[in-house]
A and B are shown apart, each in its own frame.
Chain A
């Protein structure tokens, strides 16, 4: 079935370090891809999305490129801040299916000052 696999955490970085969180997917259809962020005690917020191959989603300094050939959607940020500490979820959904979003297990990110 359709699934998302992302790197396990926690990931601990110093402020201003470069961030990469790996995400790969398996889908029988043509998915849209998402990164969601969950801050402590809060619900999910959409961070960025891409709906077709080679699209780059970006927001708040974060970027991810939809790579169909490698079935990947890795999240990157050039210089992280303490305020980026949160749990990040890679996810997919497929049009013309039951409109569910399939999430990865999440990666907890800790940024040290």
Chain B
């Protein structure tokens, strides 16, 4: 079975542009979460979606948005990119919306560089 897949793996964008990152969860998983990992730091929670509804939002500006599709795949959108948005963006999926009882599986991430 395929794990969590993210695309693209690497991306270079210019300040002010927007970007869309994609995530396909493990088959059967209905929950998708997004994290930002700045170099040298731990991942920071951005969003969680379950059954196409937003269940949680971290402390990120409105430039960050996300959605989940009927097939449970997800997109993370970032508008008006800043240099500080350069990071590894990680997607995690789980079989339900309670991380405590099920493992969250992470993808390899998308490395975004803003120049």
Q: Which residues of A contact B (CB under 8 A)?
A: 4, 32, 36, 41-46, 49, 51, 89, 91, 93-95, 97-106
Contact = CB atoms under 8 A, between A and B. Distances in A.
Contact of A32 (B31, B45, B100): B100
B90 A44 contact: yes
B55 A89 contact: no
Interface residues of B, number: 29
Contacts, number: 67
Contacts of A32: 99-100
A24 B99 CA distance: 20
B104 A51 contact: no
Interface string B19-51: 000000000000101010000111111001000
Contacts of B107: 43
B108 interface: yes
